[in-house]
Structure 1
């Protein structure tokens, strides 16, 4: 059957099974279905295996000129598409080759706008498209509603800022929909579990020249969207270099071009939690790569200074933000095959002068030394000073030989900040610099359009162990099913001081993790992170060279990802492939667990398997681990056991 016949057949299926004002589109595997109803309003409903997930949920967009898209709608014509192709990822976060398979309906409406709906095997999405010419339009409001068919469980990253600004570092708290009041809201991505066990993650993609979406409760099964308004005037708070307050804001949330596509409102859908681990819906919905040259983009592992407070020891110099200390980091990175070091806050003379190094640092000598050792240097930068002199600062970094920039403390989600992300992504790409976005909102696909955007924070990560105790194994096994569904996250694993459940204590200068050493090691397989940190003190790593050599072997990008086990807040087990080798990673909450894992995903042959698992005395000493080496064959069953708060990793290489 040729493509034209297939398209006609699909169109016939749609119309013969719908009424005059209803349109139906199904995913290629027939599991996910969207019904679009056109009456006094436009609304959509979402089904999984004929089970209602989202009941009629209206959508509209109110413009500054009084026009309301979606009110009294009239469909002029529709167009159906059936897409089946492969995306080759420039920076493969989960998979190098990503199947892009979906059915789409485009509805051209009276009033110079249209709506696009897509049904994928792993989710659904819609967006507005306008055709008002080249003039600017004000978006006063966009009606985004999710009317869930039942009272579902939600993992809410709760916020309370009245301006809808956020560091995106909240804890995901399990609640029922009906318990979320109209004054309570959270940011995306938002995990939802239906009473029948269908798993959903609500998020957005292709966010350009438009603010982030936040969802408010209603005290029932409905979540409603709101957006931060355009900031007309803001000021830095007294005695701060980064904390802003809004002085004046507009009555609209975007002023934008009349001809454009708007962000995708997306729902990742799976029959189980583990299916969420394989979805790349946000990436698929994003704009394709725009960079002509990408060979210079090199993901990798990073020796990081800030978390361990430069607290190195056993050396003959005073540790701190100085040349000798960072040469020590460079030597460590070189000895263990790490591609980069970061000079975090403190490397510059002041946090607002990003072109003048700290007088204790000979930056050019450090870059020369690092280059000789084949280690790249990445610099930290506050976003606002960078925004004020982006070209000048980036030009200087290139002259110094810097390889990337970690931009920090945006903590905003409005239209201006979204545009800043794109400007800095484009500018760093033009200067052939990697970009790591911290103090950032969640990934929305910018890393596909600009693959030099190698990581995002936007997560309650390891750094918070320096001042609180909430980053637990429960939290760590929640993140893969919530925040990580949107894209890569700079959680910064690698703690060498580890604690069991009741042993943790706060120490800013020598911080520790909650959970076992093997739990930390597993993050290098489980967590998506093309620019992956080794957060701890190089002196601690050097004291345990066998362990450090082991974790330094993990890739940061992958050819293939397979979810093996998963339940939010309890456990996660994944397999990853890079080249001819496979890697296993498992993490558990405070409950010890054992899984029987069939190795049927392996290519045929005998493999050498190097396992790092919790040690026999890990209940007394959380850093206790054991490494074993043996052989296995494809198809064998591997017993994967983890202690309370524990983890498991394995490196499988084809045996000679």
Structure 2
């Protein structure tokens, strides 16, 4: 990386990799409201450089330890006309660059309102790009793949029309943005440590192929309100000639602050089931009654007429608790347990939920005792319906209620338009809210799973109780929409997951939604033809390829009870890891990942493909060379196909060692999942060696 000033005193930087130009000279700076801009007329007053090399251990993660190794350059710039100074700090890693703006405390720069940040990413070519539209409100789009110059908001599928709340930016794209050059380099642009600032989108200049930062505004059009001293989030550029290096990069994590939580032994990676999928497929409902226009205060909920479909009732919850206990799951998520669901969606309503009042058919105290007797934890659900001011007022009461009733984890939701009205999901006000929730739940020793939040930027290092987020198009879209195309899960690890784990909710076994339409207790709807766009074997593989310390077995218990042989992989697979090996990867095409379970000599492999049939090759050279293992392969059957025959699978077991290489046939839209456990004498007699 090199830094310079233009003849006009504009800060410029450029980046290369193995002599190849990645970023041509690009401008840096900020524009302010009612003040001179901070993007020109600078001189260099000071240059500092240093080296850093340390190792730290995450509370949970993909690897046991992480090396933080970089060269740092800090440039102090002085603007004589205004007597102001700013710093630009660069950290150069082996796999990329992070840089940010820093504003020291000074007499002529105390409070400022950011009009725009004008960071440029001047790309050196018209790269293949995996992108979703820039949108202040949502990340739940299907990805498009095109040349950089072909990015356009008009290139979109029907998936866009299924998203209720949108605010699209012309010629804008979201980060993380993944690209591949014509000569085989992989480039990823994102940000790290998004704190007290708006999320960064990128706007393309098609003439010079330069992406320029575009911050999310508030209701007045302002981008951020700052007071010195202050540092912006880091802007990150990852580069490698190997796709696997992008997936293994820890640069974004390393640019975040260490954990703010002193005692972390209460934070537990979790595998769970829940009352959730049945609402998406229509066999149950979140709402207790079908009445409408109800007010949170003043409604006697016990006098409402039950609709007979309410899923979060005591009996059904006990059924899930029993299933979790029987199969060794840690928790049960319950959605729709609290009053207010009759009138929650699309009204831009302030007082929707109070997060402490259950419906008449949900016995909080009895379920607390029942779950505890089975050694299962219930997981709370707090849907805000976008009424964030309401949630802010009620958080402490809600978290106190949780702890009193045995809930140590919460799934939050932010569906709909935000209140305060005029704010966006990705603006500074909401960024601060999401971070406040992470900090506040930590004070109560509550783990957090945030849905519909701003996309993650590595803050799970700082708040390790923040186990996962959604912030992308999840598996539920397969239940009731055009769904997620087969390539979707091969792109997400290179885009959305670069900032942190995703609660993607894999494990759907009843691939065809017509099965559930036939089970609906109302309306007698005809089959809708919707389905999950994967094979069943790929749903298993996602537990490895879609990293998260919070993993759901998302289907209904009866779907698993019919296929207990395949369900065994979900029961076995770990959620916390000592090591991760990317065996092969190509964004949009395929991924094969091997992970070693925390504190165990057990490995799990997931291999997935797009819509194309292929054979995956998995060398097992990462295994202990002195031991032999039982490899249980959960594979697509020869006739499997994501659309025509998605539930056809085979299970085979073999003896393998570190010299073995598995050849895995992957169906169109398919996958393979493998468990590798140390073999005993009986295993060596029972199973044949893999050839």
The interval holding the TM-score normalised by the smaller chain is 0.7 to 0.9
1:119 corresponding residue in structure 2: 92
TM-score normalized by the length of structure 2:
0.82
Match of 1:129 in 2: 102
Distance verdict in 2 for CA 1:448–1:101, change over 3 Å? same
Q: CA deviation at 1:114?
A: 0.6
- Give the 3 Å change call, closer, same or farther, for CA 302–138 of structure 1 in structure 2: same
Distance in 1 between residues matched to 2:518 and 2:442, nearest whole Å? 35
In structure 1, the residue matched to 2:621 is 600
Unaligned runs of 5+ in 1: 1-33, 231-248
2:216 is aligned, of 204, 219, 228, to 228
Superposed, which structure 2 residues align to 1:115-514 within 5 Å?
Answer: 115-132=88-105, 135-159=110-134, 164-180=135-151, 183-220=170-207, 221-230=209-218, 249-309=219-279, 311=283, 320-350=311-341, 351-383=352-384, 384=388, 385-409=390-414, 412-498=425-511, 512-514=531-533
Give the deviation of 1:486 after TM superposition: 2.0
| 8 A contact 1:530–1:557 mirrored in 2 | yes
Pairing partner for 1:611 from 624, 633, 640: 633
For the residue of structure 2 that corresponds to 1:386, the secondary structure is helix
Instruction: Quote the residue 1:103 is aligned against.
Output: 71
Instruction: Give 3-state SS (helix, strand or coil) of 1:595's partner.
Output: strand
* 2:478 alignment partner, SS class: helix
1:198, 1:272 within 8 Å by CA — same for their partners in 2? yes
1:99-151 CA distance string (max 9 Å, x none): 11111111122233211011111211110011135943222221121110111
Q: Residue 69 of structure 1 aligns to a residue in which SS?
A: coil
- Which residue does the alignment assign to 1:41? 10
Alpha-carbon distance in 2 for matches of 1:137, 1:509? 58
Answer whether contact 1:466 1:506 (CA < 8 A) is retained: no
Moved more, 219-228 or 122-131: 219-228
Which position in structure 1 is the counterpart of 2:554?
Answer: 535
Mapped partners of 1:342, 1:95: distance in 2:
27
- SS of structure 2 residue aligned to 1:587: strand
SS at match of 1:277: helix
Asked whether the equivalents of residues 141 and 473 of structure 2 are also in contact (C-alpha less than 8 Å), the reply is yes
1:319-355 per-position Cα deviation (integer Å, ceiling 9, x unaligned): 7221000101111111111111111235445552211
Gap regions ≥5 residues in structure 2 = 79-83, 153-168, 285-307, 342-351, 416-423, 521-529, 681-691
CA RMSD across the alignment: 2.2
After TM superposition, give the deviation of residue 629 of structure 1 in Å.
1.5
Q: CA deviation at 1:373?
A: 1.0
TM-score, normalised via structure 1 length: 0.87
CA change 1:419–1:616 in 2 (3 A) is same
Deviation at 1:187, TM superposition (A): 1.4
**More off after superposition, 258-267 vs 406-415:** 406-415
1:547 and 1:104 map into 2 onto residues whose CA distance is: 49
Aligned counterparts of 1:370 and 1:169: Cα–Cα separation in 2 = 34
> Which of the numbers 623, 632, 641 marks the counterpart of 2:656?
632
Structure 1 residues 35 and 508, CA, compared in 2 at 3 Å: closer, same or farther? farther
Superposed counterparts of 1:542-581, under 5 Å: 542-578=561-597, 579-581=600-602
Q: Secondary structure at the match of 1:360?
A: coil
Q: Return the offset for 1:63.
A: 3.0
- After superposition, the Cα gap between the structure-2 partners of 1:77 and 1:45, relative to the gap in structure 1 and judged at 3 Å, is same
SS at match of 2:434: helix
Cα displacement (A) at 1:507 = 5.1
Secondary structure of the equivalent of 1:649?
A: strand
Q: Which has the higher strand share?
A: 1
